[in-house]
Amino acid sequence: MNLRQLEYFVHVAELGSFSKAALVLDIAQPALSRQVRALETELRETLLLRNGRGVRLTEAGRRLFEHGVGILQMVSRAREDMGANRDEPVGRIVIGLPPSMGRQLTLPLIDAFRRQLPRARLAIVEGLSAHIAEWIVTGRVDLGLLHNPQAAPALEITPLLDEALCLVQPAPGRRARARSRTQRGPLPLRELPGFPLIVPDRSHAIRKLIETQAMLAGIELDIAWEVASVPSIVDLVCAGYGHAVLSAGAVAASGRAAELAARPLVEPQLSSVLCLAASAHKRPTPLAHQASRLLRELVEALPMPRLSMPNRHS
């Protein structure tokens, strides 16, 4: 097995087609097929199943694909590190952002790279914090922002931002059902069961946090709907289908903050901590150092959104 064979295999797997991969790699399709077959022979495994519409990975192929992506990225980083100019980092870096941060940071991050790191290449991927953490460990992502990450030996974690969690509901005067429940001021956690909640799935950091705190408090939450997308949760809250527990930043990222009101959760106060994460087992490149600096600066510069507080008579 050699790096060229691995590169060819990864391209075929990503594109799902030998013909498409041959065009991208600028190689004749028969030669590409021979290289992949040689890899299968070397490993004594069938990696790809050919059909009339292209190819799909076998179980062995999926395992090798995961390894291959990480290996090729590590080789690329090694080359870039060896050739980097100390004063002007070069190469390619992959940054993972949760969806709420993606909407707020993608544009300023790309703009900062274009101005400050013109010789560097940036790739941004979005995913839940748990997925981004896994991608960092496997080498598919170099740096990532994570909400409430669990301590892990493979990750180096730096807290950046602490945001209070709130009960989010339609702004005063928008929905009669919301008006009947609205009160002034913070909401003690023990009163949260009185509100039907629209929550993300159990892999989401905030869902884990509120369920853990509810269990510790001995209360049972009223889960009305489970929706994976935070923007969709916000849409449902605006439409009067229930309430949500979110940070003010997540609401701001939805673009509908003016339509919503928030009550901070207290007794205990709940907060979502945004952290910068990188691999603990890889020496950071000059580009990684600069990208980390930019991420910290951009997060610190985020405007703190102000959601309206519901009044007593709404």
Q: What is the mean pLDDT of the chain?
A: 83
Distance in angstroms (rounded) separating the CA atoms of residues 135 and 142? 8
pLDDT > 80? residue 119:
yes
- Spatial separation of the C-alpha atoms in residues 101 and 257, rounded to whole Å: 15
Least trusted range by pLDDT, from 138-152, 165-179, 251-265 = 165-179
| Residue 312 in this model has a pLDDT that exceeds 60 | no
Question: pLDDT over 70 for what percent of the chain?
Answer: 89
Confidence tier at 35 by pLDDT (50, 70, 90)? very high
Contact call for residues 69 and 139 (beta carbons, < 8 A): yes
Structure confidence by residue, pLDDT tens digits, 268-295: 888 888 899 999 888 888 889 999 999 9
**Residue 88, pLDDT score:** 62
Q: Binning pLDDT at 50, 70 and 90, where does residue 179 land? A: very low
Q: For position 161, what pLDDT does the model report?
A: 86
pLDDT value at 34 more than 80: yes
Contact 297, 103 (CB under 8 A): no
Residue 313 pLDDT greater than 70, yes or no: no
Is the whole-model pTM more than 0.85? no
Mean of the pLDDT values across residues 106-131?
90
At residue 310 the predicted structure's pLDDT band, cuts being 50, 70 and 90, is: very low
- Could you give the CA distance from residue 48 to residue 34 in angstroms, rounded to a whole number? 13
Confidence class of residue 311 from pLDDT cuts 50, 70 and 90?
very low
Q: Are strands 155-170 and 120-126 parallel, antiparallel or unpaired?
A: unpaired
Instruction: Specify the residue for token string 């600066």.
Output: 297
Phi-psi region of 2 (alpha: psi -120 to 50; beta: other; left: phi over 0): beta
Of residues 298, 237, 292, 302, the one with CA closest to residue 263: 237
Higher pLDDT, 261 or 59: 59
Instruction: Place 231 in a pLDDT band, splitting at 50, 70 and 90.
Output: confident
Q: By the 8 A CB rule, do 286 and 117 touch?
A: no
Q: Answer whether residue 256 shows pLDDT above 90.
A: no
Check residue 308 and give its pLDDT.
Answer: 46
In tens, the pLDDT along 58-111 reads 999 999 999 998 888 888 777 766 655 555 677 889 999 988 788 889 999 999
Least confident among 35-39, 104-108, 109-113, 256-260: 256-260
Instruction: Say yes or no to pLDDT of 227 above 50.
Output: yes
Task: Give 173's pLDDT tier (boundaries 50, 70, 90).
Answer: low
Average pLDDT over residues 132-156: 89
Query: Does residue 314 register a pLDDT over 50?
Result: no
pLDDT at 80: 67
Q: Which domains are assigned to the chain?
A: 3-78 (1.10.10.10), 89-160+273-300 (3.40.190.10), 162-272 (3.40.190.290)
pLDDT value of position 307: 44
